[in-house]
Structure 1
Amino acid sequence: MRKNPVVPYAIIAVLGILTVVIISIVGINQRADIQQAGDGSGEQTEETQEGETAGGDADAVYQSNCAACHGADLSGGAGPDLTQVGSKYSSDEIADIIQNGTGSMPPQDQVAGEELSALSEWLSEQQ
């Protein structure tokens, strides 16, 4: 009598699907716990849930949008050093560079409104 070679693969597939379902259910519960621990109250604004920062915190906007290329301390990296950018450009010029890009820097469309104003003002103070 020959064994059916499909049966072991079917069992493995069913076990794999069950494992994914179980891990997903556990992950959903952990996500809620992590969100509650992160803000202390369990309630978050829509902006925070989407990974965006509040409009007025220029340093947080910089860290989440610029630090990867310009360094966490503005010292440069893939992008140029910004420690003295305010001595070269005004707040409006910096906002224009952020919105439209320049050289190898692409436009940063995700930074707009209050975040753009706060970030460009903060960078113009770096002298």
Structure 2
Amino acid sequence: MKKKLLAVLFAAVLMLAACGGAKESKPADTSTDTGTTTTTETASVDPEKIVKAKCTSCHGGNLEGQGSFPALSDVGSRLSNDEILNVIENGRGGMPGGLITGDDAKAVADWLATKK
């Protein structure tokens, strides 16, 4: 019994370490004010890059799923965009919520919703 408990605890710690990686820093907002108009340049969100950094350690390099983690390669055929965003923000099963937040989460949900 102790071995099983120890194995479960080890797996949980390993999953949190793999899925809860370092937060990505966003580029600084570079605004310039010319007196009459303000221009803001922002980098576009690359959802595929975010998925590779945050999701593939658990869901597989090709999003094929591995172990108890489901495949994401066809997630758009099973879940709507809003449902995918909800899972990203709040977690589900063994996946903790909040690994991806804000505009990044929305962009990833949009991108994954096209996977059918």
Which TM-score band (shorter chain)? 0.5 to 0.7
Percent identity at matched positions? 36
Instruction: Return closer, same or farther for 1:63/1:80 CA change in 2, 3 Å cut-off.
Output: same
Q: Does 1:87 align with 2:77?
A: yes
Indicate the residue corresponding to 1:47 in structure 2: 26
Q: Does 1:76 align with 2:65?
A: yes
RMSD: 1.7
**Count of aligned residue pairs for this structure pair:** 76
CA distance in 2 between counterparts of 1:99 and 1:106 reads 9
CA distance in 2 between counterparts of 1:88 and 1:60 reads 23
Give the AA of the match of 1:82.
Answer: L
CA distance in 2 between counterparts of 1:47 and 1:116 reads 13
- SS of alignment partner, residue 47 of structure 1: coil
Indicate the residue corresponding to 1:42 in structure 2: none
User: Which deviations, in whole Å up to 9, do the C-alpha atoms of 1:58-81 show, x marking residues without a partner?
Assistant: 100101111100012111124111
TM-score by length of 2: 0.60
Please tell me whether the aligned partners of residues 88 and 99 of structure 2 are also in contact (alpha carbons under 8 angstroms): no
Q: Which runs of no fewer than 5 residues in structure 1 stay unpaired?
A: 1-45, 49-53
CA distance in 2 between counterparts of 1:117 and 1:59 reads 12
CA distance in 2 between counterparts of 1:121 and 1:101 reads 17
- Within-5 A mapping of 1:79-118: 79-107=69-97, 109-118=98-107
Please tell me whether the aligned partners of residues 55 and 118 of structure 1 are also in contact (alpha carbons under 8 angstroms): no
CA distance in 2 between counterparts of 1:97 and 1:81 reads 14
Which protein shows a greater Rg?
Answer: 1
Higher strand share: 2
TM-score by length of 1: 0.55
Higher helix share: 1
